[in-house]
Structure 1
Amino acid sequence: MLYNGGTAGTGGGRRRLGAAVAVLCSLSPAYAGAQFFREAPVLAQRVAAGSLPPVERRLPDNPMLLQPLDRPGDYGGSWGLAMVSRYDGLLLYRTIGYEPLVRWDPMWTRVVANVAQSFESNADASSFTFRLRRGLRWSDGRPMTSEDVVFWFEDVLNNPDITAAAPSILRSPVAGARLETPDAHTLRFTFPAPNSLFPLQLAAGQMERGPTDLPKHALTRYHLRYNPDADREAKAEGYRDWVERFLIKSQLLRAPSGPDALLRRRDADGTASLPAEPVPTLEAWVIDRLEAGSPPVLVAERNPYYWKIDSTGGQLPYIDRIETALTTSAAELPVLVRAGRVGLQARHFVVNDLAARALAEGGNRYRALPLLPTDANTVPIVFNLTHRDPVWRTLLQQRNFRVALSLLIDRRAIIDEVFGGKGEPYQIAPRPESRYYHQRLAHQYLDHDPDRANAILGGLGLDRPDADGLRLLPDGRPLSFTVLVRRDRPDSRKAMALVARQWRRAGIDAGIALVDRADTHNRIQANDFDAMVGHPEGGFDALLDAYAFAPLNWSSYFAPGWARWAMNSSDPQAVNPPPSVIRQIETYERIKGVADADAQHRMMGDVLDIAAEEFFTIGVSLPDAGRGVVRTDFRNIPKVMFETWLYPAPAPANPPLFFIERR
């Protein structure tokens, strides 16, 4: 099956929304046959000085053509962004780092070619062939070939010292997935069983570096296989071993955002200006340096070898550089807007409608950027159903206990007080716009019914109050637990405080602990938490976000022990799931072997049926539309964008086409 520029998306819901989304920017097939090209003035100056080859020698034989939304842009200027905390590196991935083999089109309706100029699968979707663009170059001018992908696959992904677990884009390399490279421009991934979701997973947001992110020629010096002295050199530089040095030089995980991780230098702490480790990339902008200040600013300069052009032959990107402020609190963002230092950003501004305050600070220099919501819930409350404490585990696995807690929540009061009356009571379930909408999962146990809840709790033997009026566990301890809430999500904190107050009236004590994103991740992997406000995924594409409804991976916060079992049943810390959950996991595995979208939809319906019957998680309300901010001189900006991790906005809307209008 040849993917002629792309393949259908995973949901009819996307197609239904498409007519309402005024995103006119289209991704054309790869450009061919151009005789003349334009380039940025700063690059033309370098060509004239003899320090850079002419633009036609820097582009591949078949550059990728992007059609501007408004018009071909003006070259120049800086795009300001703002990170928050030391675990916000995904902001850069979602703006300048999204260059996979294949990607989403701007409308999020299909997967289209990207680094690979074409791709195809065999009849049963067990083998996928990608053809790279000939003449494609890394940002240092060196050719990018299939050898770079082999380096990622063999020396990183399949090296247990570096990669403990395979990323979601592969079923599991150790289970038999293979990569063949018939020539320098051809890749063939073969799986031991059909894996029809592979192109979609390649296009979706990825926490880990992927096949197109690791230049072999720049990283082998840090790898023990290629450099026998790598371990000694790493220790001499202060690293624990060669693996630690390789991890920071390759920047394998995208999320860490301390100066050391961003610059790929262990000596960077943000107090001094430093250059970045010169590791080349295929991205439109290359991280170049950190400029010390309050806050420090990370600077990325345009890639002279970027391989995409506009409809007039102009080499992209239009904007010269990206300047990212490394802040410690979201409260600093409106201040940056007031100073005009944010160009376009949705991340963080959509939380607590920070955009409203920022727009007030920015005045007429800014406008709102409407964001189509794809989250499943405003406050996804998840309990650790595989709790290490056997008494708590037994209680939390009682479906009726979770039902009672849901019935104790006055959702309308929370919606009015925290969310300005916007939204409707809703459980954690696919949204009504999704083709995976599930009426029972979305609407069960939403009534505020304390009498029924108290009767259920009494039936569970939780009716003996202590001196403080708290119900008691079977072993006599008070029914008291802690809910983890991310520090950077003030709405979650406010809403959870109201939920806790409502639970307390029924003799249940829920304390709130504020944690950072990294702390949350670590606590999940250690199975060391009672409950938390989790991520709101699963609202639009339940097929790729199935972990929100079944324990499939680390993002299935409601049961990390069951998730361990799903990922590796022989894991000593795995917890055996009940039969219904095993059916869920097995059904989802079978979905990967089905290429027909309708059959996938029916099988995913079975997974959601079990989720509805088990009622793993509790939601509060359906999120309303959000807003980001964009400076009014920015052009080629879609009128509205999706806001979700699967479609790592704004990246699929083609930021290299964004430009700053000269005035």
Structure 2
Amino acid sequence: MIKRRTTLGLLASAIALPRLMLPRDAMAAGTEPEILLEKITAGTLPPMIERVPKTPRIVNLAAMGRTPGSYGGSIRILIGSQKDIRAMFINGYARLVGYDEKLSFQPDILEACEVEGEKVFTFRIREGHRWSDGSPLTSEDFRYTWEDVVLNEDLRKGGVQQELLADGKPPRFEVLDARTVRYSWDAPNPDFLPNLAAALPLILLLPAAYMKQFHKTYQTEEQLKTFMKKYRVKKWVDLHIKMSRQNRPDNPDLPTLDPWQNTTASPAEQFIFDRNPFFHRVDENGMQLPYIDRVVLNVSTPGIIAAKTGGGEADLQAQNIDFTDYAFIKDSEKRYPVKVKLWKRTQGSRVALLPNLNYGDPVWQGLLRDVRVRRALSLAIDRREINMVAFYGLGKESADTVLPESPLYKPEYAAAWSQHDTEQANRLLDEAGLTGRNEDGMRLLPDGRLAQIVVETAGESTLETDVLELVTDHWAKIGIPLFIKTSQREVFRNRTMGGEIMMSMWLGLPNGVPTADMSPSPLAPSTDDQLQWPVWGMHYLSLGQFGHAPELPEAQKLVDLLKEWRRTADNAGRTRIWHEMLSIYTDQVYSIGMVNATLQPILHTSRMQNVPEHGLYGFDPTCFFGVYMPDTFWLGDKVS
């Protein structure tokens, strides 16, 4: 469990009833996965009692309202590109510390995590824990990752990443014994555990025994050159990075702690992930997880994945299908042994308009930075029509903000400038100086140009263009013509950073179900990929080396509050900061949300058990299927 030596007391898991003391002889007598029997019989793989840590993570499925399962079978998942194999890392969701279904912290790979004042974090490794190749997991793996990777000036030219800084300083790292390490800061670092639990987490743990062969400190120059030639890289740094990628598991030889391990080298059109025989979780009956032996990822063109899913080519699918595909995919239940469920998406808005406050055109930049213009554009949108047309009325009309499932939710955040009021929108635009109009009634800029807003998208969903067609009609009523432009995702992001995109359509807040313990960074200029203020975000991300600070006082206030949150150790203080930031963000309309609490189709083979009927689906914090533990899904004979 996670211990906090503060007034917060003990953080408990949603599945942590009184701790299960599973006898070792129960595991020793447990049934082995059939796929492993040949190796066990041949003596090339030890029996379960020797593969699983002495204190495994025990998943009490009955307490979760699910059914203990049986071993076997394989499932198919469709992915849009080879890069999308990272979905296995996200969905597998093996983390040092992770979230449970109620979004409380839970030690996972770690046996225990003790936190003192959000400054000192002591990690205890499970005794007997092993990497997927059978090598022991020890403090040396943490030490190697910290001293030889994070602190290596060649591998980390920008220095220690910001997520590991508290008041601009990195932690002190200590090895206390073979199973215990400690990270200590002089100032609080409340973002540390959330970063470890994230979909793409901080990497503090690499398999040292394997990775040392690619590191100049431990390998001869001659052998490094041989490896560089073999793996087609020019520098040892590139070699080390390529061979160590955990969040994109395309190196089949890299030992892992995930439930399934890749067995296929890139490039390939199909990737096969087999069960990790040393995985650290077991169910209450002593059966080692995962239940399912193999996951097969088939690469397909993104635009036809929905059609293939509805055509019976997937056994578990959520990525690359959307609510617009629901009717077609649901109809596949009549033709194939599949089940389609609807989960709630976690974004603050399913689609949102993001005015680029760093847009290069000085006239438009001034207008987009005028809160009256942003409020007017929001008020002009008929969210009820969008909800009814695009989501059959099943979503919730709202500003871009947190959902009712979050303890931080307040109705006033959802209502902020989101009511449909064309009259007030016209009045605000007049007050902002956009009084001139052409013969068609469209507004003119102060320099005489047509006040046309160009909204760009990555062109990855018909939903975006469908919604924008409706918004085109809404904005025409306030004299603002809208032009839709699509481009590829990489080009799209680069052009935004360069100030070339006026406004974009993207997802709203990535995490609409936060707790006060989660970072409020999406509400403030904090990264260069935030489409409404990438230059300001780069300034924060680079610690002032690049970009520049926000010129708008309200945006700078959000930055100041984010910094204050990172210095705050108590829950009450973090909650206060969250509410102040949510109030500013929604009142200033830095993103124009439309509809949230929309639904995500989840298709699975009807034989698959333990897939929840309802769930929250998103990248962070639920890691797609991750917090629902796909390693506990299993294939039975009955229809679920």
One-letter identity of the residue aligned with 1:356: A
Measured in 1, the distance between the counterparts of 2:140 and 2:491 equals 37
Deviation at 1:314?
1.6
Matching residue of 1:100:
95
User: What's the C-alpha RMSD, in Å, of the aligned pairs?
Assistant: 3.3
Identity %: 26
- How much does 1:319 deviate? 0.9
**AA at the equivalent of 2:531:** Y
User: How far apart in 1 are the matches of 2:507 and 2:166?
Assistant: 25
SS at match of 1:236: helix
Paired with 2:135 and 2:544, the residues of 1 have a C-alpha distance of 43
2:292 equivalent to 1:319: yes
Change beyond 3 A, Cα 1:577–1:8? farther
CA contact (8 A) 1:169 1:202 kept: no
Shift of 1:463: 3.3
Distance 1:292 1:103, change over 3 A: closer
2:297 is aligned with 1:304: no
1:104-153 per-position Cα deviation (integer Å, ceiling 9, x unaligned)? 12333x2111111011112x221110101121111111111122122333
8 Å contact from structure 2 (residues 310, 328) kept in 1: no
Separation in 2, partners of 1:331, 1:463? 46
Equivalent residue letter for 1:595? A
CA-CA distance at 1:600 after TM superposition: 1.7
Distance 1:226 1:201 in 2: 29
Residue in 1 that maps onto 2:211: 219
Distance 1:160 1:391 in 2: 43
Q: Which residue, out of 553, 574, 586, partners 2:548?
A: 574
How many angstroms apart in 2 are the aligned matches of 1:610 and 1:76?
A: 52
Q: Any residues of structure 2 matched to 1:360-439 within 5 Å, and which?
A: 360-363=331-334, 365-439=337-411
User: CA 1:211–1:9 in structure 2 vs 1: closer, same or farther (change >3 Å)?
Assistant: farther
1:175 partner SS: coil
Deviation at 1:402, TM superposition (A): 0.7
**Aligned residues of 1:28 and 1:67 also touching (Cα < 8 A):** no
Larger CA deviation: 353-362 vs 515-524: 515-524
The letter for the 1-side match of 2:323 is N
Equivalents in 2 of 1:244, 1:448: separation in Å?
53
**CA distance 1:411–1:156, shift in 2 (3 Å):** same
Contact preservation (8 Å) 1:27, 1:105: no
Question: Where does 1:199-598 land on structure 2 (aligned, <5 Å)?
Answer: 199-206=193-200, 210-212=203-205, 214-227=206-219, 229=221, 232-233=225-226, 236-237=229-230, 238-251=232-245, 254=248, 262-264=249-251, 277-289=252-264, 296-339=269-312, 341-349=313-321, 351-363=322-334, 365-465=337-437, 470-536=442-508, 537-541=510-514, 543=516, 544=518, 546-554=520-528, 556-598=530-572
Task: Rate the CA distance shift 1:612–1:636 in 2: closer, same or farther, 3 A.
Answer: closer
Q: Which amino acid aligns with 2:485?
A: A
Give the match's secondary structure for 2:482. Answer: strand
1:326 counterpart letter in structure 2 = V
Identify the residue that residue 80 of structure 1 maps to in structure 2. 76
Per-residue deviation at 1:580?
2.9
For 1:10 and 1:381, the matched residues in 2 are separated by 41
SS at match of 2:174: strand
After superposition, residues 648-659 of structure 1 pair within 5 angstroms as 648-659=623-634
Work out which of the residue numbers 9, 13, 37 in structure 2 matches 1:44: 37
Aligned to 1:158: 151
- Residue by residue over 1:208-227, the C-alpha shift from the partner in whole angstroms, topping out at 9 and shown as x without a partner, is 56224x21222233333433
Q: 1:601 aligns with which of 575, 594, 597?
A: 575
> In structure 2, do the counterparts of structure 1 residues 291 and 389 end up closer, same or farther at CA, with 3 Å as the change threshold?
closer
Residue type of the alignment partner of 1:304: P
Q: Write out aligned runs for 1:157-196 (5 A).
A: 157-159=150-152, 161-163=154-156, 164=158, 169-171=163-165, 175-196=169-190
Q: How big is each residue's C-alpha offset from its partner over 1:408-441, in whole Å with a ceiling of 9 and x where there is no partner?
A: 2122222222221223431111223322223333
Look up the equivalent residue of 2:94 and give its one-letter code.
E
> Do the aligned partners of 1:149 and 1:211 also contact (CA within 8 Å) in 2?
yes
State the distance in 2 between where 1:497 and 1:508 align: 13
> 2:195–2:202: 8 Å Cα contact kept in structure 1?
no
Give 3-state SS (helix, strand or coil) of 1:263's partner.
coil
Give the distance between the partners of 1:489 and 1:6, measured in 2 at CA: 46
Asked whether the 8 Å contact 1:79–1:323 carries over to 2, the reply is: yes
CA distance, structure 2, for counterparts of residue 490 and residue 6 of structure 1: 49
Give aligned pairs, total.
625
1:360-391 CA deviation, whole Å, 9 max, x = no partner? 12436122233134321122111111223333
Look up the match of 1:661. Answer: 636
Per-residue deviation, 1:187: 1.7
Counterpart CA distance in 2 for 1:117 and 1:480 is 58
What is residue 21 of structure 1 aligned with on the other side?
none
Higher mean C-alpha deviation, range 417-426 or range 168-177:
168-177
Residues 1:280 and 1:433: Cα distance change in structure 2 (over 3 Å): closer
Question: In structure 1, what residue type is equivalent to 2:624?
Answer: A
CA contact (8 A) 2:4 2:115 kept: no
Q: C-alpha distance in 1, partners of 2:480/2:382?
A: 15
Counterpart secondary structure, 2:595: coil
- Which secondary structure does the structure 2 equivalent of 1:95 belong to? helix
- How far 1:298 moved relative to its partner? 1.0
CA deviations over 1:593-623 (Å, ceiling 9, x no partner): 3333233212211222222342212111233
**What is the letter of the counterpart of residue 56 of structure 1?**
I
Distance in 2, Cα, partners of 1:438 & 1:166:
37
Change (3 A) 1:558 1:409: same
Query: In 1, distance between residues paired with 2:471 and 2:153?
Result: 43
Kept in 2, the 8 Å contact 1:538–1:545? The answer is no
Cα shift at 1:27: 7.8
Partner SS, residue 323 of structure 1: strand
Shift of 1:4: 8.6
DSSP 3-state at the match of 1:289: coil
Deviation string, structure 1 residues 138-170 (Cα, Å, up to 9, x no partner)? 111111112212233333333454444766753
2: CA distance, partners of 1:480 / 1:87: 37
Deviation string 1:335-364 (CA, Å, 9 cap, x unpaired) is 24533x422233333x23424322312436
Which range moved further: 508-517 or 164-173?
164-173
Superimposed CA distance per residue, residues 93-113 of structure 1 (whole angstroms, 9 cap, x where no aligned partner): 2322x21111112333x2111
AA matched with 1:361: S
Give me the whole-angstrom Cα distance separating, in 2, the residues matched to 1:556 and 1:331. 29
471-480 or 308-317, which moves further after superposition?
471-480
**CA 186–301 in structure 1, closer or farther in 2 if over 3 Å, else same:** same
Superposed displacement of residue 87, structure 1:
4.8
Report the residue type matching 1:129 in the other structure: T
What CA deviation, in whole Å up to 9, does each residue of 1:392-418 have, x standing for no partner? 322211111111211221222222222
Whether 1:127 and 2:120 are equivalent positions in the alignment is yes
Whether the 8 Å CA contact 1:382–1:618 is kept in 2: the answer is yes
Query: TM-score, normalising length from structure 1?
Result: 0.85
| TM-score relative to the length of structure 2 | 0.88
